[in-house]
Amino acid sequence: MSQTNAISQASVAYFSGDDLARNRDEIAAGKLWRFPGGIHPPERKELANQRPIARMPIPKRLYVPLKQHIGQPGALLVQVGEQVLKGQPLTAPGPNAGLPVHAPTSGVIAAINDHPSAHPSALPVPTIILDTDGEDSWTERQPIADYREHSAAELIAHIAAAGVAGLGGAGFPTAQKLSAQGKLDYLIINGAECEPYIVSDDRLMREHAAGIVRGIRIMQHISGIEQVIIAIEDNKPEAIQAMTDACSGQAGLSVRVIPTKYPSGGERQLIQILTGREVPGNGLPQDIGVLMQNTGTAYAVYRAVIFGEPLLERVITLTGEALSRPGTVWAPLGCGVEDLLEFAGYQGYPKARVIMGGPMMGFTLPRLDVPVIKGSNCILAPARKELPTAGTEMACIRCGACADVCPASLLPQQLYWLARDHDHDGLRDYNLADCIECGACAYVCPSEIPLVHYYRQAKADMREQYIEKQKAEIAKERFEARKARLEREKQEREARHARAAEARKQAQAEREAAAAAAPATDTTDATPAAKKPNDRIAAAVARAKAKKAAQAAESSPEPQPEQAPMSKDDRVKAAVARAKAKKAAQAAESSPEPQPEQAPMSKDDRVKAAIARAKAKKAAQAKALQASENSEGKVSNKPESLPDSSNSAQAADPAPEATPGEPSPSRNKQGSDQ
């Protein structure tokens, strides 16, 4: 570990040499910086932090969404009806460092379907529904007795396999964060928990300080960071005491007490408080030599490595005056909010609010059967008058109170005007993307404008527009490519026709020269590659019959290209019937005159169609035979309107599947025939 003097690349860019040294000295001396803005909403933490973290009875049913982190979900590993054990992976790790999910307890997979999600919209997402058996029997765990004997890569893989994601709220995969490249200066453990009401980290630090510290040690081992700063707001004296005790005598660990101010627990704000450094606008904390993890995450890493336990449960604060037994609880991931509220003695009332998360950044739940996931930290059920809902939105008076409290030094009122105007360029100019949606602006707004809501909608609009733009870009490319392809094929076809005509002339000449006995039974066409004239004649006759029959069957006055049935009877029958119905409908629509035979066609037609089908089948068989012999499909005499004319691909190999980018020859043919 020779990184004492190793200066991370990013830090160098951020500070010039002397400044960096001074900055490090200041940090070492315990200097605290302040971030602009911030508010002091009522903390209300005493509601839930009085009692130890409880354990709830295992709910009867768990809803485990396949994706509970930022990233992609993995493939399913289990099937409906399967018996699973606690800790058994239910999905494989997703692509691009996506995390697996595990069975939080033993039971049977009841279903795998879309279930309302722990999201403001509660839109359904793929979810594994697990009927628990109450046994809570573990699958085989793989603890790592001494993590020091393992390389960072091994431990990262282990943590990823355990499905550990950031428990602070966002749910970023911890393993991915830990595998950041380059030497970093500081590992910051975020125990600030600045949002009112929430006490999950507070209780966890009080009760499991030693575990958290061991988790920190493991993360230090992985990342090679020597300096660890544990940040706790000064409104949690017990947690500060517990963590200080656990850190005493541990080199490199320091507990830093920061003043209580919302949102000091925001990643960027906390970095600013502790280091005076600012994460670049579109950068990451590692760009300035900092890695931040939540206390809960540190504890989860500890459980994952030392005990081999995947992330199956987390501490959730159940709080609010509508609960008769508020407190914290170890909730299995996938536990329905209903069950948690019942455990805490929820007294519902009409038009109640149940908030997932805190009062500042949480979202209201439209229904209670949504599960808690890795990033959920609080369920807040306020009493009717506890958190007054925002009043009527009034006109902005440009008082600037929002700008005064914005921790990102944005101009919220300007963003508000721009968002109302849908001025996306303006929003970009005013750095909407840097808004952390902390809600401080809307909290102080005297006109009670739901500012954050405007920003969220604007952000979603901008994202949507970006996606649409990308899609339009791709669509355009594909359209151009297709046009180019059609043009190319046209030329190729012309060249081929010229060649074919040449060959035909030659063949004719040969035939005449040979003075064959039968003078041209086949009047339709001369196919250069034809080997067995008899088969071809038979096929042609069959086709002709089939066509006639089909035309007869088609009662519509306009001659319709008929389906030459190719495959299973019933399917074709259905298809033809549908097609007729469609044509009939169209004809009826387009021509005012009634078509007498349209309506009652069904039975009659079906008989005719059946005859046609039988004949066509014969034809098809003949053709199949022929096709098998003619490696070069051709038969340019087929009526073009027959759908199976595609079979007559002139080009060499009929590709089984056409990829859009590289179109198959059969499609070339089709395109050019039109």
Partner 1 sequence: MSFYIASSPHAHQRRTTSDLMRIVALAMIPGIIAQWYFFGWGVMLQIILAVATAYAAEALCLQARERSSIQGLRDNTALVTALLLAVSIPPLAPWWVIVIGVAFSIVVVKHLYGGVGQNLFNPAMAGYVVLLISFPVQMTSWLPPVDLTGNNISLFESIHLMLFQYTSQGYSVEQMRMVDTGALFDAVVMATPLDHIRSDLSQGLTLSESLQAPIFGGIAGLGWQWVNLAYLAGGLILLQQKVIQWHIPVSILVALAVFAGLGSAIAPDTLPGLDIHLLSGATMIGAFFIATDPVSAATSNRGRLIYGVLIALLIYVIRSFGGYPDAVAFAVLLANLCVPIIDKYTKPVTYGHGKGRSKTAGGGH
Partner 2 sequence: MSFISGLLIGIAALAILALLSGVLLGFAAVRFRVEKDPVVEQIDSLLPQTQCGQCGYPGCRPYAEAIANGDDINKCPPGGQATIDQLADLMGREAKPLDGAHGVEEVKKVAYIREDECIGCTKCIQACPVDAILGATKQMHTVIADECTGCDLCVEPCPVDCIDMIALQQGPERWKWDLEQIPVTNVSESPTELATEVKS
Contact of residue 439 among partner 1, partner 2, none (CB under 5-8 Å per partner type): partner 1
Q: Cβ 650 to partner 1, closest distance in Å?
A: 53
Nearest to 172, CA basis, from 272, 88, 92, 285: 285
- Scan residues 556-575 and list those touching partner 1 (CB under 8 A): none
Q: Is the CB of 193 or the CB of 605 nearer to partner 2?
A: 605
CA distance 306 to 316: 23
Among 74, 166, 211, 439, binds partner 1 (CB under 8 A): 439
Q: Is the CB of 286 or the CB of 328 nearer to partner 1?
A: 286
- Scan residues 218-277 and list those touching partner 1 (CB under 8 A): 268, 272
Alpha carbon dihedral 315, 321, 324, 328, in 10-degree steps, equals 10
Angle at which helices 152-161 and 295-306 pack, to 10 degrees?
A: 100
**Helix (H) or strand (E) run with residue 329 in it:** strand 327-332
Nearest to 98, CA basis, from 76, 68, 72: 72
**Helix (H) or strand (E) run with residue 228 in it:** strand 227-233
Contact of residue 80 among partner 2, partner 1, none (CB under 5-8 Å per partner type): partner 2
Contact of residue 444 among partner 1, partner 2, none (CB under 5-8 Å per partner type): partner 1
Total number of residues shown for the chain: 674
Q: Cβ 36 to partner 2, closest distance in Å?
A: 26
Stretch that binds partner 1, among 152-160, 452-460, 513-521, 631-639 (CB under 8 A): 452-460
Q: Is the CB of 55 or the CB of 367 nearer to partner 1?
A: 367
The site map against partner 1 for 164-203 (x = CB under 8 A) is: --------------------------------x-------
Among 194, 354, 500, 564, binds partner 1 (CB under 8 A): 354
AA letter at 329: V
Among 7, 85, 352, 383, binds partner 1 (CB under 8 A): 352
Q: Is the CB of 439 or the CB of 633 nearer to partner 1?
A: 439
Cβ 310 vs Cβ 102: under 8 Å:
yes
The site map against partner 1 for 4-33 (x = CB under 8 A) is: ------x--xx-------------------
Contact of residue 7 among partner 1, partner 2, none (CB under 5-8 Å per partner type): none
Nearest to 265, CA basis, from 454, 509, 82, 38: 38
| Phi then psi dihedrals of residue 517, to 5 deg | -70, -55
Helices (H), 31-115: none
Q: Is the CB of 153 or the CB of 474 nearer to partner 2?
A: 474
Which strands sit side by side in the sheet containing 107-116, from one edge to the other? Answer: 61-65, 124-132, 107-116, 83-84
| Burial classification of residue 49, based on how many CB atoms lie within 10 Å of its CB (0-12 exposed, 13-18 middle, 19 or more buried) | buried
Q: Cβ 118 to partner 2, closest distance in Å?
A: 9
Contact of residue 36 among partner 1, partner 2, none (CB under 5-8 Å per partner type): partner 1
Contact of residue 543 among partner 1, partner 2, none (CB under 5-8 Å per partner type): none
Q: Is the CB of 429 or the CB of 464 nearer to partner 2?
A: 464
Q: Cβ 120 to partner 1, closest distance in Å?
A: 8
CA distance 243 to 227: 16
Q: Strand 124-132 and strand 61-65: pairing? A: antiparallel
| Burial classification of residue 657, based on how many CB atoms lie within 10 Å of its CB (0-12 exposed, 13-18 middle, 19 or more buried) | exposed
Q: Is the CB of 216 or the CB of 419 nearer to partner 1?
A: 419
Q: Strand 313-319 and strand 378-380: pairing? A: parallel
Q: What is the DSSP letter of 646?
A: G
Contact of residue 437 among partner 1, partner 2, none (CB under 5-8 Å per partner type): partner 1
Q: Taking CB under 8 A as the rule, does residue 434 contact partner 1?
A: yes
- The sign of the torsion formed by the CA atoms of 279, 280, 282, 285 equals negative
Q: Cβ 415 to partner 2, closest distance in Å?
A: 15
Stretch that binds partner 1, among 71-79, 211-219, 283-291, 661-669 (CB under 8 A): 283-291
Q: Cβ 455 to partner 1, closest distance in Å?
A: 10
Q: Is the CB of 111 or the CB of 152 nearer to partner 2?
A: 111
Contact of residue 571 among partner 1, partner 2, none (CB under 5-8 Å per partner type): partner 2
550's CB contacts (< 8 A; 6+ apart) are 562, 563, 564, 609, 612, 616
Q: Cβ 670 to partner 2, closest distance in Å?
A: 5
CA distance 322 to 341: 10
- Longest distance between any two alpha carbons in the chain, whole Å: 111
Contact of residue 180 among partner 2, partner 1, none (CB under 5-8 Å per partner type): none
Q: Cβ 392 to partner 1, closest distance in Å?
A: 6
Cβ 599 vs Cβ 624: under 8 Å:
no
Q: Taking CB under 8 A as the rule, does residue 423 contact partner 1?
A: no
Among 126, 252, 426, 450, binds partner 1 (CB under 8 A): 450
- The sign of the torsion formed by the CA atoms of 236, 237, 239, 240 equals positive
Q: Is the CB of 394 or the CB of 475 nearer to partner 2?
A: 475
Cβ 320 vs Cβ 385: under 8 Å:
no
CA distance 621 to 567: 11
How many chain residues bind partner 1 (CB under 8 A)? 79
Nearest to 355, CA basis, from 344, 366, 340, 371: 366
Q: Is the CB of 512 or the CB of 657 nearer to partner 2?
A: 657
- Number of CB atoms found within 10 A of residue 120's CB: 14
| Burial classification of residue 373, based on how many CB atoms lie within 10 Å of its CB (0-12 exposed, 13-18 middle, 19 or more buried) | buried
Among 404, 423, 461, 535, binds partner 1 (CB under 8 A): 404
- Scan residues 355-384 and list those touching partner 1 (CB under 8 A): 355, 357, 359-368, 380, 382
| Phi then psi dihedrals of residue 251, to 5 deg | -70, 140
Among 101, 103, 288, 619, binds partner 1 (CB under 8 A): 288
AA letter at 178: L
Contact of residue 57 among partner 1, partner 2, none (CB under 5-8 Å per partner type): none
Stretch that binds partner 1, among 227-235, 403-411, 485-493, 528-536 (CB under 8 A): 403-411
Among 57, 81, 249, 281, binds partner 1 (CB under 8 A): 281
Q: Cβ 633 to partner 1, closest distance in Å?
A: 55
CA distance 593 to 571: 32
Q: Taking CB under 8 A as the rule, does residue 280 contact partner 1?
A: yes
